[in-house]
Structure 1
């Protein structure tokens, strides 16, 4: 009888040790998975299943935008206004200071697949999307990380900067309407908002 209890105790102890070892391995595997997770994958999870209202984006210019995700690229996110205004706001990843959301949404994005986002949008860079706005001759509002804003039409976009012809919002880009020109590095941008009816995805 004593030996039976002895062997039962050994089996229980061994089972407990195996369970503890498996839990430790699962925890380490989860840490490794999270260490490979990128911001764009978590933002793409917000696109896959729209989050609760109340998601707001804190940006380098000190502003906060209440918006939902319309698309995610290689280094940018496209946002739609939560208040229902039409148009699209493009935000480069370096301009995002934080994204405020509920805990369930935060946890859901942390469970995003670690694979790279597929599709064309996932490979498009911020410069590529800005060059599309140039091609469309779309009127835009541009907000700098300094907090300064400007409106106009982007004339050209290089690898890391854009040229904008400044004019009043709603007015066409004509020589007589242009009040000035600016060359703006992408690194200085908080966001670019395209006029109503312009889509980039």
Structure 2
């Protein structure tokens, strides 16, 4: 009788130790998974969740709205129901993303790389599309300057901006100057109108 009880106690101890070891391994596996999750993957989870976020930028400004799209090294923050006033934010300009506590936890749990196409669409790719569409923009730079105009060209690591007043078309008579802006200096690109994207 006593031996039966002794073996039951041993089995219980062994079972508890295995359970504790399994929990420790699960915790370590989760830590390892989290150590490999990039910001981009969490932004994709927040995009799917459609929650409001505040992107805090390196020039001490912020952009609020929902995440509309995530590319290889950028994301779009959209206020309201259309793209008017949407901001294209390069990841290098972000110093923090604020959202609700449950959205933060969900973005960790649901993080993944998203579609392969999004992983290939870099910041320059998006800017070249704006060149093609002749969209008027405001380019916010790291020097705390805002340049308004139309992007004429987007190179490998820079853009050419024809400067003109907001709301005026990009015509030779309206252009007041030109700027070559390195991508690294760009904090955000705001779109002037949603109708230009249709």
Same fold per TM (> 0.5)? yes
Secondary structure of the structure 1 residue equivalent to 2:31: helix
Matching residue of 1:86: 84
SS of 1:151's equivalent? strand
Are 1:101 and 2:95 an aligned pair? no
Match of 1:74 among 44, 57, 72: 72
Residue 199 and residue 120 in structure 1: after superposition, are their counterparts in 2 closer, same or farther (change >3 A)?
farther
Alpha-carbon distance change, 199 to 41 in structure 1, aligned in 2, over 3 angstroms? farther
**Structure with more of its chain in helix, by fraction:** 2
CA distance in 1, matches of 2:136, 2:76: 17
Contact kept in structure 2, 1:66 and 1:82, CA below 8 Å? no
Q: What secondary structure sits across from 1:37 in the alignment?
A: coil
Matches within 5 A, 1:146-185: 146-185=143-182
Aligned-pair CA distance for 1:193: 0.9
- From 125, 129, 136, give the equivalent of 1:128: 125
1:190 aligned onto 2:187: yes
Q: Following the alignment from structure 1 to structure 2, what is the Cα–Cα distance between the partners of residues 26 and 76?
A: 33
- What are the equivalent positions in structure 2 for 1:14-25 lying under 5 Å apart? 14-25=14-25
1:88, distance to aligned residue in structure 2 (A)? 2.1
Q: Structure 2: any 5+ residue segments left out of the alignment?
A: none
Q: Match for residue 60 of structure 1?
A: 58
- Indicate conservation of the 8 Å contact 2:56/2:63, yes or no: yes
**Mapping of residues 16-35 of structure 1, within 5 Å:** 16-35=16-35
RMSD of aligned alpha carbons: 1.7
Moved over 4 A (4+): 82-85
> How big is each residue's C-alpha offset from its partner over 1:61-116, in whole Å with a ceiling of 9 and x where there is no partner?
110111110000000001102597724210000001100111100000001244x2
TM-score (norm 2): 0.94
The total of aligned residue pairs comes to 197
